[in-house]
Amino acid sequence: MPPAFSFDPAEAPGEIFGANVFTKAEMQARLPKAIFKSVVATIEKGAKLDPAVADAVAAAMKDWALEKGATHYAHVFYPMTGLTAEKHDSFLEPVSDGQALAEFAGKTLIQGEPDASSFPSGGLRSTFEARGYTGWDVTSPAYILENPNGNTLCVPTVFVSMTGEALDYKTPLLRSQQAMGVHAERILTLFGHKNIDRIVSFCGPEQEYFLVDRHFFLARPDLINAGRTLFGAKPPKGQEFDDHYFGAVPERVLGFMMDTERELFKLGIPAKTRHNEVAPGQFEVAPMFERANIASDHQQLLMTVFKTVAKKHGMECLFHEKPFAGVNGSGKHVNFSVGNSELGSLLVPGDTPHENAQFLVFCAAVIRAVHKFAGLLRVSVASATNDHRLGANEAPPAIISIFLGDQLADVFDQIAKGSATSSKGKGSMIIGVDTLPVLPTDPGDRNRTSPFAFTGNRFEFRAPGSGQTVAVPMIVLNTIMADSFDYLATTLESAVAAGEPFDKAVQTLLTDIITEHGAVVFNGDGYSENWQIEAASRGLPNLKTTLDAIPELIKPEAVEVFEKYGVFTERELHSRYEVRLEQYALTIAVEAKLALEIGSTVVLPAAIRYQTELAQNVIVLKSAGLKPDSSLLQSVSGTIAELSTALATLKAALSDHSADSAYDEAKHAQVALLPAMEAVRVAADALETTIADDLWPLPTYQEMLFIL
């Protein structure tokens, strides 16, 4: 008999990795040497793009794409919805003799013009003004998106208005990366580095997600339209036993994982880790570090691939932060570092960090940035969907703090007192089994309750939600790091120019920073009630909800820092403020309408059928001269009345209001719609636990979470 699983050497990861990417190696093989050098200088060193190279690159890209079976090309961009958008055009253009030629000119590569009127702009554009432009991002490689009926050449682009204002998150991401690199290089110059390659930020996002059998998914209107279950009683078994976390991956899911990885490898996305997550039906994939703008593009592409492949396996992939109440939701931990290919990560402490002045300066810059701009970090992860997750015992609290670990906390404590003279070293773990080796231990543990934790050679921002683009937190991180690097570089440059020895200037600067900004460092339990009190005494903001956080975007200090480093203009910031409010209100409004519809047309009719059965049974027993127990009927009737009242309240909340601003609309959603939806759910979930199973019309949590 043939083996159950066969291995095709042509499909080996090393053979297919980047097979569908227009890589530098592909460009080098197809472009004239001068053109190739010009393009690489733009990609690796941030040199200005020479428009003269576009025709040559476009011709080579077209030939490569046609060889790959592409029939169309698409400028791929990322509007302020946080989703991926694309406009497809055919390579074929008619000529006079009735034939068609494959054309793809340099001007077509550089610029496209999709209709911008239906994308959110937050007031940057009027709805009747349709013109928007996509612009080629040469730093992010083009790729082929495969389809059984024909492939498409995809060109990553920015998306801007005709006035040059950003209608996306890639444009400000590139701006912020550039600003951050300039000031990081100033610090490195002070430490004696010369001819420094462009410093960039690196991002390694860990993606959590749920898988649900597609039959169940299609039977749940709330999952189809909102991405989360608006109803559902807690199952008898959830995640209490911790038996799903890192457990054996179910065979069907493993097949899905292998197929997604194959597709990701073809697209040059370095998927590294896969495993079961805490909640039943929940899993995680983690890629390796990449430049922030490429990591952002790849994250959007990864979510698209996962959705597509899941359907082929008869499942649906859910990226909502909280698709199921009562079990853990999903995040997207953003691992952050800065550096370049020559120097590596600048956040590597070495074995003796107290002696590593360069690392301490860059680490101090992070401490200052996070403390000074905690509100911006909080707003970067704020959404109606992430509100279900943040602050619960499954995700970091809304209070932004930094975990340094025992070793670094001790070093900075010494610095605050004068100077650091020692570092806690690594230890050894004696397990007590002769056949097992002695294992080394790190000088500090990890802290899963910290929003911003040092993890050995990077910081892990644990607050982003699983459905969010990583571009937004990376924009904020790059910008606030540019501010800190600028401040540190200016301080050190001034001290050295005044004749102060560099080492002494560094020591003074580090002491000043940890003294002024050390309040943000917290190594304890972020879930404890005491931390809420202590954080308030330290002056740390606690922006518990999205509506608490969004105004941080337009505070004077936010406008100042974004404008100073050329990331956002004040108009662009206000547009994002408006868009974020609108997205919040729309998300909740859609859920409220769904809750009203499902509650009225699905749950309530099922409950009334059961009530009727019970009533008929009582009548039959009475007619037989028996005394029936009508307590169940009374209980069900009472809950039906509660549901009917809650539905009426929700209906009124949806219709009986007016709002003068986007904020008022969002506030109404928060204070009126959310409580009304919760009341409907409480009654509906109570009915689910009472109504006969054969009459309950919706797939249950027990089915959706455990049948894969």
Kindly report, residue by residue over 638-666, the tens digit of the pLDDT.
Answer: 999 999 999 999 999 999 788 889 999 99
Select, from the ranges 21-30, 72-81, 481-490, the one with the highest average predicted confidence (pLDDT): 481-490
Q: Does 577 map to a domain? A: no
Point out which residues pair with 339 in neighbouring strands: 200, 345
Q: Does 579 map to a domain? A: no
Mean pLDDT of 382-406: 88
pLDDT at 491: 97
Pair of tokens at residue 21: 């990417």
pLDDT at 434: 65
Name the residue with higher pLDDT: 651 or 161. 651
Count of residues making up the chain: 708
Predicted confidence band of residue 133 (pLDDT cuts 50, 70, 90) = confident
Residues 256 and 389 in one domain: yes
Listed in sequence order, the residues at least 6 apart from 324 whose beta carbon sits closer than 8 Å to its beta carbon are: 210, 228, 229, 232, 279, 281, 701, 704, 705
Q: Does 430 map to a domain? A: yes
Phi, psi of 284 (to 5 degrees): -145, 145
Predicted confidence band of residue 6 (pLDDT cuts 50, 70, 90) = very low
Q: Is the pLDDT of residue 3 over 60?
A: no
Q: Residue 456 sits in which domain range?
A: 177-568
Q: What percent of the chain has pLDDT over 90?
A: 69
Mean pLDDT of the chain: 90
Whether the predicted model's global pTM rises above the 0.95 cut = no
The pLDDT tens digits for 659-708 are: 889 999 999 999 999 999 999 999 999 999 999 999 999 999 999 999 99
> Which 3-state string (H, E, C) describes 594-645?
HHHHHHHHHHHHHHHHHHHHHHHHHHHHHHCCCCCCCHHHHHHHHHHHHHHH
Listed in sequence order, the residues at least 6 apart from 148 whose beta carbon sits closer than 8 Å to its beta carbon are: none
Mean pLDDT of 538-547: 95
Residues 93 and 215 in one domain: no
pLDDT at 105: 74
Residues 368 and 437 in one domain: yes
Mean pLDDT of 278-292: 93
* CATH classification of the domain holding 70: 3.10.20.70
Predicted confidence band of residue 4 (pLDDT cuts 50, 70, 90) = very low
Q: How many domains is the chain built from? A: 3
Residues 628 and 554 in one domain: no
Q: Is the pLDDT of residue 504 over 80?
A: yes
Pair of tokens at residue 625: 């001269």
Instruction: Tell me the one-letter amino acid at 161.
Output: S
> CA–CA separation, 485 vs 263, rounded Å?
39
Residues 339 and 463 in one domain: yes
pLDDT at 456: 85
Which of 112-126, 458-472, 586-600, 628-642 is least confident?
112-126
Last residue of a domain, one of 568, 592, 614: 568
pLDDT at 435: 63
Name the residue with higher pLDDT: 83 or 564. 564
Point out which residues pair with 403 in neighbouring strands: 453
Token match 């992860």: residue? 381
Pair of tokens at residue 608: 């009334």
For residue 367, which of 557, 200, 517 has the smallest C-alpha distance?
517
> CA–CA separation, 588 vs 592, rounded Å?
6
- The answer to whether the Cα torsion of 401, 403, 408, 411 is positive or negative is positive
Mean pLDDT of 619-644: 93
Q: What percent of the chain has pLDDT over 70?
A: 92
pLDDT at 353: 83
Q: Is the pLDDT of residue 274 over 60?
A: yes
pLDDT at 130: 66
The pLDDT tens digits for 549-607 are: 999 999 999 999 999 999 999 999 999 999 999 999 999 999 999 999 999 999 999 99
The pLDDT tens digits for 408-425 are: 888 888 888 877 777 777
> CA–CA separation, 119 vs 122, rounded Å?
9
Distances (CA, A) of 142 to 66, 145, 156: 13, 10, 6
Residues 495 and 623 in one domain: no
Last residue of a domain, one of 144, 167, 190: 167
Q: Does 10 map to a domain? A: no
Residues 207 and 331 in one domain: yes
pLDDT at 52: 82
* CATH classification of the domain holding 635: 1.20.120.1560
Listed in sequence order, the residues at least 6 apart from 64 whose beta carbon sits closer than 8 Å to its beta carbon are: 22, 26, 30
Helix runs in 267-347, H state only: 292-312
Across the chain, which distance is largest between two alpha carbons, in Å?
106
Instruction: Tell me the one-letter amino acid at 71.
Output: T
Point out which residues pair with 427 in neighbouring strands: 441
pLDDT at 1: 37
pLDDT at 5: 44
pLDDT at 2: 41
Q: Does 2 map to a domain? A: no
Pair of tokens at residue 58: 């476009």
3-state secondary structure of 163: coil
For residue 354, which of 417, 403, 420, 405 has the smallest C-alpha distance?
420
Token match 């009374």: residue? 634
pLDDT at 95: 57
Mean pLDDT of 35-48: 87
* CATH classification of the domain holding 479: 3.30.590.10
The pLDDT tens digits for 430-455 are: 666 666 676 666 666 677 789 999 98
For residue 144, which of 268, 312, 57 has the smallest C-alpha distance?
268
Q: Is the pLDDT of residue 112 over 60?
A: yes
Last residue of a domain, one of 118, 140, 167: 167
> CA–CA separation, 641 vs 440, rounded Å?
63
C-beta separation of 647 from 680 below 8 A: yes
